[in-house]
A and B are shown apart, each in its own frame.
Chain A
């Protein structure tokens, strides 16, 4: 099972001021798979995820060392972050649809990157909404404010919005933690669908979810990656004792 490595970190350390949030992370994430990050709150999952599209640049007092390669290319200081973020899409824990129409939300990314033509945009919007499994639900209200959608729909709209810039990697930070079970089911299904074309990294608090949908699982604790491997191995036979205790629900 030799697969292309899509994201690689080398000796990655990250600090918020004096606090070290990530400790020497070395990991390879494979393409066209779902990789799940699990671990108790505050262990650094979100932080690591945000390294992959350099969103931590926006955080005051945050600095890191070590290297991150996306598809073999170093994303250090002189990368064009906007181009990087176009390639590495992100879906946030709390859906953050813009206060615009459904259409404009999805078209935001392509427009930002220079797609002006109406016909072309229409096609992209349609495609993205379909991929996100939202088309049927919103096709009659494309020009209505996106804020009127339900929570689950808003989250899927965020996914559609991310897909519209044609990324290769999709980062998802607890995308279902504030959703009801039905919406959660839909998004999990969607992930299974999307992994045929995209590399997905998903942070989740929900062990069942990680076990259900992911191919690889990484367990973090206090900024360290203690376990990383095929999901079925991690869940059936964890090597790390703390990971085992976490998975069996004895802490965290």
Chain B
């Protein structure tokens, strides 16, 4: 039995609930025989991937949904073998750069060349090109992006590329200028309400609008999250009336605890305790940026208005250091120390400027 998010995922452009204008555009582009390379971008859970899948179906028919997973071996320039699982149908293929780490350029290059050099053999195929979907395109290395440039021009006859990303900021300009940009905004409150109600109706239960409202507030534009929470809540209390207890994921509770510890006490020994908690979170594969942002958001709720901007300022500074540097924990910790000292200055009402040479 599949989760509701998957069970009720729209499969054709007509089934999509919101951004009707966008769906109409995609429909007419798919019909025009003149389909461009595309870049879908927008926040997580806004429905980019669903929209891409629907577009594929519009282009190729139901055959695009018959997926198979292939084990492929690639050879790196240093002659290391690289095993990669590749999802594909007869009409398209999907690549996720993070699956292949620093070798994304090699893998993408090989796959694109192969596709570019093979004709569609299925005579019944509706399009003469195949589609290459690149997920998480914002994590493509510069190298891999550079490799895409000319390929996108050269092999236009056999291949179209669909990039899926959270933002366009990390893509180099030459790539952006070769794509038709499709911004997929997060659904607004009313649109999310519709989606949740639709699922409730299909599952044959009554969803009080206030309950849905609460789930939507918590989901912050992420429809996937909202649907997961809805399903979990429905399991817990089938009638969904009364105050809802939307369970926070463990790591979030844990991050909040860290924030509380920072605000309660500012001492070297407290720093050590916080550090242990950070290690714990990191060892559970919570991305360091998520840790920093979550803790910072909570700290901000608990400190005086005059400190809030500084807390976020230092979060921004140490987050980028984390990206450039190599040891995440150093920078997480540095941020904690910075915030503790700011807080202390504030509480004791004097400025440390005199002490900082």
Same complex for A and B? Answer no
